[in-house]
Amino acid sequence: MSKYAIIKNGGKQYRVSEGQFLNLDRFEAEAKSTVEITEVLAVNDGVVKVGAPFVEGAKVVLEVVALGKDKKVVIYKKRRRKDSKLKRGFRRQYTRVKVVSIAG
């Protein structure tokens, strides 16, 4: 059984395990720097620890790999028979990180 944690970032929750890559909402950090996340909701290292709301003393260390943008999402609205339409695009900015260690 692998060690994993559930973390909170940007109003979303992610299940992470060591060595995993994931895209989080953009935050200011240099590439190849490390970031500690202390908002850990649960940790499983053989025994499940659940916080209320966060697990005390638990942290997840992340290494920033790169900053980037996702694929474009096109929002298109058309109102039939009204000669009304709207087309907009959106590209989410993200920070790509690698999970280095889970402690807790």
Query: Which residues form the domain of 56?
Result: 4-103
Considering all CA atoms of the chain, what is the largest pairwise distance in Å, rounded to the nearest integer?
61
Query: Model pTM?
Result: 0.81
Q: How many domains does the chain have?
A: 1
Structure tokens that stand for 6 in this block: 């559930």
| Beta-sheet strands, E only, within the chain | 4-9, 12-17, 21-25, 34-37, 40-44, 48-50, 59-69, 73-79, 84-90, 93-103
pLDDT of 93 reads 96
Q: What is the mean pLDDT of residues 16-42?
A: 94
User: Is residue 58 within 8 Å of 49, Cβ to Cβ?
Assistant: yes
